[in-house]
Structure 1
Amino acid sequence: MKKFNRALVLMMTLALVIVAAACGNSNNENASGGSASASSANAKEVKITFLNSKGADIQAKLEAAAATFKKANPNIAISIISTGDGQSPVEMASTLYASGTAPALIMLDAGDISKFQDKAADLSNEKWVADMAQPNQIAGKTLAFPFSIEGYGLIYNKAVVDKAVGGTFDPAAINTTSSLEELFNKIQATGVNPLLIGSMDWSLGNHFLALAYAAQPDGDVVNYLNGLKAGTEKIADNTAFQGLMNTFDVMKKYNAGKKDPLAVTYEKSAAAVAKGEAAMTFNGNWMYLELQKSNPTGEFGFIPVPVGNQAGDKANSAIAIGATKQVIVDKTQNSEAQQAAAKKFLEWIVYDAEGQDFLVNQVGVIPAFKNITLQPKDSLAVSIKAYNDAGKSIAFAGNYVPGDHWKVLGASMQKYLAGKSDVAELASDIQNYWKTAK
């Protein structure tokens, strides 16, 4: 996700709605057999739309996959549209539903599936359900297709950090806030900036801050968030939150962008790490495609974000991992033929060799299906898989928060990053948010 001018986002959204409306009208005609003057070939074609909420990171690859799929399924045409940068999937999907042009396939953040459960087709009987690595149910039904397993932490440039430690760096050596600062000092001694923090609200709000939710001793994110909603949990007094913010203070101290921290974009942070101008940044494995633009052959990995100085705490050695982006099939504004076409595309991704290649090799996704034996090739995906296989993972807590969490509390984190608030004010913002969270 990257920031856009709000007016531009509104213009883009309107344009997409108009395009989707055209597709929707065409969809209805094709689904019912088309006009009398249409050729028999066109009359049989089913047109559907796929809303991609991973944006530019995979847009071109997804369009290419739709074209490849059409070669094997000439009577199904898939149009790919995308959310605007700075626009949440919920906002875009809601706009399209309101206009009567809901896509057949809608990619949402995992935490937002329940908001659309009355519009989502029941996928419980689809072939791929039996091959999911983990159950994915709401109210006893499988309503969404798990598109990707993702994770995040401190992304580091291996060549830069190896040089700083005088050998092969072992990320397991960083398991406390103190050991992280020691590493920053070693990197700085080589003349390289230790860190560049991206200012994106979605990253700070739904990823970094959410580590405090995931790092609770019992690992029960839902129970902790329910406590925040009820007011029985006080974030300011929470050990994991306090430790996480202590780590963030250390990160701010060594941040190469601290003179103008809110000017550091997704692209800038990725380019700095890829070029070796900064040793690391905070983000997820989806950043690999952006890193490749500046360093196609670079090797990168993950260091967990410590939440304290107790080396034995699991959260200090674990990466947040989860099935993040998930896809529903709309049953309210798409015909049965369109729904069938959408389901066929999802099955193609899981079982067709070209579909699997798209998922794993083209967009670097760690598949959520046991039958897919392709191994990720990009170094960030390999790193995430290694943590996951070793049981060194905590919940991707952003999957459990409301759709506006990243904007509201992401803005609060930006204030803290910029030195415009203190930890007490941040804690107050978090507590107040959860009082009224839906």
Structure 2
Amino acid sequence: MLLILTVIVSACGGNSGGNSGESSGSNDSGGKSVKITFLNSKSEIQQQLADAAKQFTAANPGIEVEVITTSQSQSPVEKATSLYSAGTPATLAMLDAGDIAKFKDKAADLSSEKWVKDLAQPNELDGKTIAFPFAIEGYGFIYNKAVVDKAAGGKFDPATVNSTSSLEDLFKKIETSGSAPLIIGSMDWSLGNHFLALTYAAQPEGDVNKYLESLKSGEAKLADNAAFKGLMDTFDVMKKYNKGKNDPMAVTYEQSSAAVAKGEAAITFNGNWLITEMQKSNPTGEFGFIPVPVSNNASDKANTSLAIGATKQVFIDKEKSSEQQQAAAKKFLDWLVYDQAGQDFLVNKANVIPAFKNITLQPTNSLAKAIVEYNNAGKSIPFAGNDVPGDHWKVLGASMQKYLVDKSDRAALAAEVEDYWKNVK
């Protein structure tokens, strides 16, 4: 009996799994079931991603995928760092593109994966592919077509807005038609990593990193920069016509989305990811994009272009994740690219534009279609938020919020931006 008991205890305790997430079971990965975690930093698709994980598990019974998310007060890089500090990193971590380099020593080399050959554009760091581009995204002014068409007295052509003054003319027409021209969301990530980052993307030479290096060295003077001054001229016009100007910081992501979706406001500043939230208020609504002007010169490329890029990137942890977990994670990424259900999740459920040539599904929502049209027409500038540090949105997003509520002037904002970059290591 003692011998039998010893054998039973040994069998039960021989593979506790620890942080590996592995347990006994039966599948195609050596007879063990595997649990992997996916850190999701696109909160608007949390439910869709959780549903996709269940679909994947149903097709791959030996692999369980748990989706975890970041809180509104925590950036993706902070969440990933805290998980590593706790010794429990996510198997798959979705971060902003600019933060992948911080984890390059912890990321598995994915260069030999099948999907690398199907990338629309190379996605390398130091000559290796260590991250999976989850989506192509873009942003600018999102407008409700029905509301703006009414104000324009016919079908509105977004190309007619190619300067700050023509943008204000449109705001006046919308106001005259009886609608609020604009509502500004107060989110720090939107104001910091998207709106302010247009300054970096709109530099004449078009080299974002070169300009950021000049900010780090103290050579660049933001207060004298034409793109910054023009962009803030546009922001001043936005503040003037803001539906929420009596209490700007009270306007949330959800409120700005619903206002435009319902036609309570004609325009807001955001990206194509907003469509998931907008469809909650108006499932059949048609929306479009207007580029954000950075000058009164109609020939400036930035005035007729959207910021577009491969934004969210996913890396696989190799530091704490077992070989079985890494293999399961790779299988999940393959499922997204090559399985019909995975492709359907990306394009139709998550409403993202895939970064892979083999995916022929075309986006059906109006915002994604507009991004594709601008991109195919060559009307794009860099998604500069991909090139900034993980705390940029918090620090300089707060600076933009102060400017939004008139607690700071343009000189103070410029000084805070310059000080931030001088202290970036």
Bucket of the pairwise TM-score, normalised by the shorter protein:
over 0.9
Alignment pair present for 1:322 and 2:314: no
Report the alpha carbon displacement of residue 169 of structure 1 after superposing the two structures with TM: 0.4
| 1:20-419 superposed matches below 5 A | 28=20, 30=22, 34=23, 38=24, 40=26, 44-55=32-43, 57-419=44-406
Distance, in Å, in 2 between the alignment partners of 1:39 and 1:142 is: 33
Give the partner amino acid of 1:430: V
3-state SS of paired residue (2:314): strand
Instruction: Return the letter of the residue paired with 2:170.
Output: L
Q: Are the aligned partners of 2:135 and 2:352 in contact in 1 as well (CA < 8 Å)?
A: yes
Contact kept in structure 2, 1:27 and 1:46, CA below 8 Å: no
| Stretches of structure 1 lacking an aligned partner (at least 5 in a row) | 1-23
Letter in 1 for 2:174: I
- Mark the runs of 5 or more structure 2 residues left unpaired by the alignment: 1-15
Report the Cα distance in structure 1 between the residues aligned to 2:269 and 2:20, rounded to whole angstroms: 45
Deviation of 1:40 after TM superposition, in Å, equals: 4.9
Read off the aligned partner of 1:175 and give its amino acid letter. N
Spell out, residue by residue over 1:205-232, the C-alpha distance to the aligned partner (whole angstroms, 9 max, x if none).
Answer: 0000000000001110000000000111
Poorly superposed stretches of 4+, deviation over 4 Å: 24-27, 38-43
Helix, strand or coil at the partner of 1:45:
strand
Q: TM-score, normalised to structure 2's length?
A: 0.94
Identity of aligned residues (%): 69
**2:20 aligned partner, one-letter code:** N
Cα distance, 1:27 vs structure 2:
5.4
Relative distance call for 1:26 and 1:297 in structure 2 (3 A) is farther
* Paired residue type of 1:343: K
Distance 2:294 2:136 in 1: 23
Deviation of 1:39 after TM superposition, in Å, equals 5.2
Distance 1:234 1:127, change over 3 A: same
Contact 1:273 1:281 in 2 (8 A): yes
Question: How far 1:338 moved relative to its partner?
Answer: 0.2
RMSD, aligned α-carbons: 1.3
Deviation for aligned residue 1:28:
2.3
Q: What is the CA-CA distance between 1:259 and the residue it aligns to?
A: 0.7
Q: In structure 1, what is the Cα distance between the partners aligned to 2:284 and 2:231?
A: 33
> C-alpha displacement at 1:43, in angstroms?
5.6
Q: Equivalents in 2 of 1:371, 1:242: separation in Å?
A: 42
> Partners of 2:32 and 2:393 in 1: how far apart?
43
In the alignment of these two chains, the number of paired residues is 408
What is the one-letter code of the residue matched to 1:51?
Answer: L
